Homo-oligomer: A and B are copies of this chain.
Amino acid sequence: MADRIGFVTMGEARSAEGEIPSLGVGMLGYAFMGKAHSNAFIKMPYIFWPPPARPKLVAIAGRNQAATAEAARRYGYAKTYQRWQDMVTDPEIQVFDNGAPNDLHAEPCIAAAEAGKHVICEKPLGRNAAESKRMLDAVTKAGVKHACAFNYRFVPAIRLARDIVDAGKLGKIRHFRATYLQEWITDPEFPAVWRLQKARAGSGVLGDLGAHIIDLARYLVGEPKTVNALTRTFITDRPSADTPGKREKVDVDDAFVALVDFASGTLGTLEASRFARGRKNANRIEINGEKGSIAFNLERLNELEVYLPDEHASKELVGFTNISVTESYHPFWNVWWPHGHVIGWEHLFVHEVHHFFDAIVNDKPIAPHGATFEDGYRASVICDAILASAASGGSQVAIAY
């Protein structure tokens, strides 16, 4: 097929020779992540044409039978399960996708791995490092493919940033700073949903948004050596999500700030909050290296800002360049639209699912561009260290995997 459609070089597929295999998918969870992942399974094969395999939507599991049935009908899953225990052994399933709340990450993933399923699990992997370690050990032992769904590795602009780092264009990295700011729970009457309960979520914004920037820090700069951190819970009790009239104590962090000393000598700061009014999804990253800088904001995910004087022919014309990361030669873009026809947040999952299926079908490694359970575990270790540091008033805590 020609790769010029009308005016522009648009990512175009080559012809699909022979039969396209399929891989049976079992999905746990039908809510936010269930919707995002189901969308990706449906969309991946015709976007990444021909796909390594077509996802076959075998089953979806959830405790609420009606809601699960509705989701099955909506997205096209053939079966429903009320008990994940039944689904993870379904012989039609080769891929288990865990989009459930954090307290349902470990046991289903471990059981699925033991049943020989490839496993992709939403972040954070476990509720703490110990739980994540058990999960990592299980998939390692089972020899299945495993991915921790740190989807922001699959932003074209982030992959481009990594390419810039890998090419040495920044030189030694001096500074890394990331803030992931949202505003979802600024209202004190917002209820104490599961994400605000330590028993279910493990931690608060730390495991939710913090884990993303911790993973990106590792992906872009390398391993942290130590952290000093503080956390804060601004609203300490909230209405129960389940029992009208009841109030519940919030026992997780609403925000955290951390200093990070990286093994490379990079000096870093990390911060996440659900109390930053006006910041809808502001995952912002800035890297300053010896030879240049990179800046990114998820709210404008099709753009990357770079300052790389050595890349310019004239010093008078140097500055931060705003790259529309939408050219056919940019990461992931050969499958999409003409340049400037921007993609959205949901498409990161499409890239991720393709990466995972490609790894399974063609026996490629998930790492380094995809995150594995090893990466999920390491993020958990860092989260635990941040909590430990905060508990001691910000004392330095070493990272040890």
Contacts and interface: CB of A to CB of B under 8 A. Distances in A.
Interface string A215-253: 000000000001011101010000000000000000000
A275 to B, nearest CB: 5
B288 A279 contact: yes
Contact-residue bracket for chain A: 35 or more
Contact of A338 (B39, B269, B281): B281
A123 interface: no
Contacts of A43: 39, 42-43
A321 B317 contact: yes
A347 B314 CA distance: 26
A115 interface: no
A341 B300 CA distance: 10
Interface stretch (A30-38, A88-96, A105-113): A30-38
A7 B193 contact: yes
A367 interface: no
A130 interface: no
Interface string A1-22: 1001111101001011000000
Contacts of A279: 288, 293, 340
Contact of A228 (B42, B228, B271): B228
A141 interface: no
A394 interface: yes
Contact of A255 (B174, B289, B298, B347): B174
A311 B310 contact: no
Contact of A290 (B39, B182, B186, B280): B186
For A293, A302, A341, the residue with the greatest tally of chain B CB atoms inside 10 Å of its CB is A341
B288 A275 contact: yes
A291 interface: yes
Question: Main secondary structure on chain A at its contact with chain B?
Answer: mixed
Contacts of A186: 290
A73 B7 contact: no
Interface in A184-212: 184-186, 190, 193-195
A281 B339 contact: yes
A63 interface: no
A259 interface: yes
A147 B247 CA distance: 51
B228 A175 contact: no
B311 A314 contact: yes
Interface stretch (A326-334, A358-366, A368-376, A377-385): A326-334
A298 to B, nearest CB: 8
A163 B317 CA distance: 11
Nearest to A42: B42
A82 interface: no
A182 B8 CA distance: 10
13 contacts: A7-B274, A10-B32, A228-B393, A277-B309, A298-B340, A299-B342, A306-B317, A310-B313, A311-B312, A315-B327, A320-B321, A321-B321, A337-B346
Listed from nearest, the 9 A-B pairs whose CB atoms lie closest are A280-B340, A281-B340, A278-B307, A344-B344, A228-B394, A7-B184, A5-B32, A319-B323, A343-B344
